[in-house]
């Protein structure tokens, strides 16, 4: 009779091998396989020709994508599942491929160094690597697309979460290509939109504004928010910004936002904030990612942000879930 204590745990073994499934998805996204299949089912041989595969391993790769519910196989012709068509086809409104491209190029490699980061406290991606990325047009574009990929699934709920019409002038700090503000000014013709970010991002911002039909309606302000004052606004947005820094730096940024706001204005923050009593797995993974790619960053509890906001002078702090993992906090300045 087999001793149960000697039998391997299927769950533990599956978890230990989950990186293989993740790499299959990331590789398919890198190959742009789902875009190639969109509206055009193909055989294995046709797909190999279209995306430039040698052929060895291709059948197993495609069968794996079928088992992962990303493709279907109908008499030897592969097509996207509905979810793949919705989220993994370039140009579609729900496309998250930008994030997946960035994850494969930037996040997947650094997670291999988690042991070292836990032992030393040092990130696997140094600050000079980020500076080098900013000066490399190809890497910068991939970074900007990754930021858009993270934001895009949140945009529908974010656009409905606040009475944006109450704020005539909106400033998105660290707003990258300006995706949020472009959507806002399209919805609210009287709104004035602004993005504050590092000067290297201005070209990709300008390109995106032209694509979004928002050129001339959103202003880019180049600067460093730790050394340069923020432009005046009625609402300041920190979306996936504060988690890049430690508590002291978050305090400085919250105070900078308070100073930039007109009376009656508000600071909107959204991040994958932590619930100390019941932290979500996805948010813990996000926090560890920040440890791997930033000098001092990490996700943080809602209450920490609320205390920083009250100390800065905000009169009221409201919070609400934005999705299963994301929290939105609105800090209001007195009139």
List active site positions.
243
Specify whether the CB–CB gap between 107 and 293 falls below 8 A: yes
Degrees, nearest 5: CA angle 131-249-200:
25
Q: What residue ranges in the chain does DSSP mark as E strands?
A: 42-43, 71-74, 77-80, 169-173, 192-197, 218-222, 233-239, 261-271, 316-321, 327-332
CA quadruple 209, 255, 243, 299: dihedral sign: negative
Residue with tokens 């875009």: 35
φ and ψ of 173, to 5 deg: -85, 125
φ and ψ of 268, to 5 deg: -110, 125
Enter the tokens of residue 233.
């606004």
Identify the DSSP state of 112.
T
How far apart (Å, rounded) are the C-alpha atoms in residues 123 and 120? 9
**DSSP-assigned letters across all residues of 271-315:** E--B-TTS--HHHHHHHHHHHHHSSS----BHHHHHHHHHHHT-S
């Amino acid at each position: 009779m087999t001793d149960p204590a000697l039998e391997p745990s299927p769950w533990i073994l599956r978890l230990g091998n989950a990186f293989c499934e993740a790499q299959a998805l990331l590789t398919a996204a890198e190959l742009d396989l789902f875009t190639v299949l969109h509206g055009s089912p193909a055989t294995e041989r046709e797909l190999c020709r279209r995306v430039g595969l040698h052929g060895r391993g291709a059948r197993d790769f495609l069968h794996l994508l079928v088992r992962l519910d990303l493709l279907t196989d109908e008499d030897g012709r592969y097509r996207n599942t509905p979810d793949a068509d919705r989220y993994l086809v370039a140009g579609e409104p729900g496309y998250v491929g930008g994030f997946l491209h960035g994850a494969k190029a930037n996040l997947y490699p650094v997670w291999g160094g988690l042991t070292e980061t836990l032992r030393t406290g040092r990130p696997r991606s140094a600050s000079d690597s980020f500076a080098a990325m900013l000066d490399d047009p190809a890497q910068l574009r991939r970074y900007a697309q990754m930021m858009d990929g993270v934001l895009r699934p949140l945009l529908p709920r974010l656009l409905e979460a606040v009475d944006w019409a109450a704020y005539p002038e909106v400033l998105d700090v660290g707003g990258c290509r300006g995706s949020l503000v472009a959507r806002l000014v399209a919805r609210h013709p009287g709104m004035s939109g602004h993005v504050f970010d590092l000067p290297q991002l201005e070209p990709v911002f300008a390109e995106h504004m032209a694509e979004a039909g928002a050129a001339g309606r959103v202003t880019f302000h180049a600067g460093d928010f730790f050394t340069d004052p923020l432009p005046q606004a009625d609402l300041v947005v920190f979306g996936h910004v504060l988690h890049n820094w430690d508590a002291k730096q978050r305090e400085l940024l919250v105070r900078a936002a308070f100073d930039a706001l007109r009376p009656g204005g508000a600071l909107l923050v959204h991040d994958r904030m932590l619930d100390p009593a019941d932290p979500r797995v996805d948010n813990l993974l996000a926090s560890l990612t920040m440890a791997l790619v930033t000098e001092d960053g990490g996700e943080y509890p809602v209450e920490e942000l609320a205390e920083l906001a009250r100390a800065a002078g905000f009169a009221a702090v409201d919070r609400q879930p934005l999705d299963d993992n994301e929290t939105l906090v609105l800090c209001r300045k007195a009139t």
